[in-house]
Amino acid sequence: MDAANYLYLSALLFTIGAVGVVVRRNAIVVFMCIELMLNAANLAFVTFSRINGDLNGQVVAFFTMVVAACEVVVGLAIIVTIYRSRRSASVDDASLLKR
Amino acid sequence: MEFTTPVLNYTLLSPILILLGAALITVLVEAFVSKALRPITQLSITLGGLVLALVQVWRIRNEQSMTAAMGSVIIDGPAVLMQASILIISIISVFLIADTEHFTALAASLPGSDEERQAVQSGNQVTEVYPLTLFAVSGMLLFPISSDLITLFVALEMLSLPLYLMAGLSRRRRLASQESALKYFLLGAFSSAFFLFGAAFLYGYSASVTFAGIRDAVVGSGGNDVFLLIGISFLSVGLLFKVGAVPFHAWSPDVYQGSPTPVTAFMAAATKVAAFGAMLRIYYTSFANAQWSWTPMLTVIAIVTMVFGSLVAIAQRDVKRMLAYSSIAHAGFLLTGVIALNKAGLEASIFYLFAYGIATVGGFAIVTLVRDAAGEVTDLNRWKGLGKRSPWVATAFAGFLLSFAGIPLTSGFIGKFSIFSAAYESGAKSVVIAGVLSSAIAAFFYIRVIVLMFFTDPVEDGTSVEIPSALTSLSVIFAMVVTIALGVFPAPVLNLISDLATFIR
């Protein structure tokens, strides 16, 4: 199968993630959409690794997974703190700071 | 398959390793040292680590190496200058962070809960801000010396993740502080996803993750130009977000306002140096020969950023938000240095970053001093007549504002003059015109604050100026001396920069 198809899939996943970040209001869902975008980038890296016949792209994928895991730790800590103080994880409710 | 043992040059990597070591020690101190000794122990280890790292940076200043860590980092003149700037800015920011008054006693407790009250009363102040600062600084040191996409991404996250947490640590107005942490985190993670996607396409274009490999591919125009364009634009989104350029600036006023002020100072100054350091390196080395593809984009962004930042700052009633918009405008001025793409542009950018970073820390240090019973007063209306009640503090703040405005005899003037003349030399006239005009607009709101402080009658509403702690005064005095010294007698620093500032490729 043509490897370019995986690039289309990756672009599609990235777009779904980006749209999700913009339209969804729950911080957890927004965060999941961001993870989807990171995974789309990972898929692109692995596909390019295959196309270019070079292993570095796969190494990047592993680094991304580790970094994404760290991001989950920090992100969930922040979201859980917000939820405990406000009883809501909606990004619309967080609007104390004036525009 | 054959594995080669990695060779690391520990001397050249030592600034980062020292800081990471100090960060790990501070984590242990947090867990095992008694509450009475903890703040002073943490502060000494943090400052010790930063100073030691600065000494190491100075010692390796003439080294040049592309292979300090198997080609993943480059040590050269600009790298050393950026690292030294970041460390000096961090040291004077840590002087401000040392005032535990600004930080919540127990970040895990609910705002207003009994648990929080007990922690404050028993003096059981947690000091996790020190390890977080050290991890962030080590990420910042790594960011401008990265020479492949993996290291660049890891360094980006290493500097960002601790900052997201630090934004939420304020003692007063904790809900707003937590909100700023959430906003910073979600938007930061969003932009780093763009960054990574761009990195993937650059890899697809050049079949290499190193900057040198990307450069070779650009010079040989070997790959698919569509991949290159997608790569450059998405990668730029991540970098422009970190420096707070329009249209990726939305986080910065909220985060500047909500974070504890010492953290705002640190983040505003040091992150900018690190992010522009990385940006200059990748644009000046890897993308230099694809100038046609990114100059128009960056020119538009630079012009919009400076005009927007200067105009919106006029309407601000909160001093921290005003400084946030001013930092957006300065991001625009600094982008002219990237667009210039010549040696003068690089030198001017390095000088500007250092001068602006130091003045920013000084400015926010003053903000920490103006307080009432409920904490800091950031409403500009209540700063009226500050010059009559506390002439020294108001004069120092005026000095920093004049430096932001680029008035002669301050470091800001030399910075702006050199960065605009570098851009003019390279033919980017539209940016220079927009830059000079928006500097004029910006000068208006800086001077308005000075008028407010010195020429209006004070309001009696309990606003008072705290007697600064020894460390805060040290930080303000140092910032003031550097700001004036660089404005009156910039030659030694400019010479040092022009001796060192050449990227090796």
* pLDDT tens string B230-255: 999 999 999 999 999 989 999 999 99
* pLDDT tens string B258-279: 999 999 999 999 999 999 999 9
- Put simply, whether B182 touches A (Cβ < 8 Å) is yes
pLDDT of B302 over the 60 cut: yes
CB contact under 8 A, A82 and B179: yes
CB contact under 8 A, A74 and B176: no
| Chain Cα centroid distance, residue B451 | 28
Query: Which residues are within 8 A (CB) of B310 and not within 5 positions of it... i.e. 6 or more apart?
Result: B325, B326, B329, B438, B439, B441, B442, B445
pLDDT of residue B106: 85
Q: Which of B165, B164, B159 is nearest to B275 (CA)?
A: B159
**Residue B247 preceded by cis peptide, ω within 30:** yes
- Give the mean pLDDT of B103-116: 85
* pTM for the full predicted model: 0.95
**What token pair was written down for A35?**
């993870």
- Put simply, whether B111 touches A (Cβ < 8 Å) is yes
> How many Å lie between the alpha carbon of A1 and the closest alpha carbon of chain B?
18
Orientation of helix B129-142 relative to helix B38-59, angle to 10°: 10
CB burial of residue B60 (10 Å; 0-12, 13-18, 19+): buried
Which residues of chain B lie closer than 8 angstroms to A98, CB-CB? 318
Query: Which residues are within 8 A (CB) of B177 and not within 5 positions of it... i.e. 6 or more apart?
Result: B104, B167, B168, B169, B170, B258, B259, B260
pLDDT of residue B1: 64
pLDDT of residue A98: 62
Query: Which residues are within 8 A (CB) of B368 and not within 5 positions of it... i.e. 6 or more apart?
Result: B96, B99, B102, B261, B262, B376, B466, B472
pLDDT of A99 over the 60 cut: no
- Put simply, whether A89 touches B (Cβ < 8 Å) is no
pLDDT of residue B2: 76
* pLDDT tens string B355-401: 999 999 999 999 999 988 888 888 888 888 888 888 999 999 999 99
Average pLDDT, chain B: 92
β-bridge mates for residue B73, sequence order: B146
pLDDT of residue A2: 86
Please give the helix or strand (H or E) that residue A59 lies within, else none: helix A56-86
How many alpha carbons lie under 13 Å from residue B151 in its C-beta half-sphere?
A: 22
- Put simply, whether A20 touches B (Cβ < 8 Å) is no
How many angstroms separate the Cα of B305 from the Cα of each of B289, B333, B437, B440?
A: 25, 8, 13, 15
- Put simply, whether A68 touches B (Cβ < 8 Å) is no
pLDDT of residue B58: 94
**What token pair was written down for B5?**
């043992």
- Identity of residue B206: S
ipTM attached to this prediction = 0.96
Query: Which residues are within 8 A (CB) of B165 and not within 5 positions of it... i.e. 6 or more apart?
Result: A74, A77, A78, B132, B181
In whole angstroms, give the CA distance from residue B292 to residue A9.
Answer: 30
Tokens 């990726």 sit on residue: B248
Which residues of chain B lie closer than 8 angstroms to A51, CB-CB? 204
- Which one-letter DSSP state was computed for residue B379? B
CB contact under 8 A, B193 and A44: no
Q: How confident is the model at residue B124 (pLDDT cuts 50, 70, 90)?
A: confident
pLDDT of B490 over the 90 cut: yes
- Give the mean pLDDT of B421-446: 93
How many angstroms separate the Cα of B112 from the Cα of each of A94, B119, B452?
A: 18, 11, 35
Which residues of chain B lie closer than 8 angstroms to A60, CB-CB? 149-150, 153, 199-200, 203, 209
* Exposure class string for B429-465: b at 16+ Cβ within 10 A, else e: eebbebbeebbebbbebbeebbebbbeeeeeeeebeb
* pLDDT tens string B5-56: 888 999 999 999 999 999 999 999 999 999 889 999 999 999 999 999 999 9
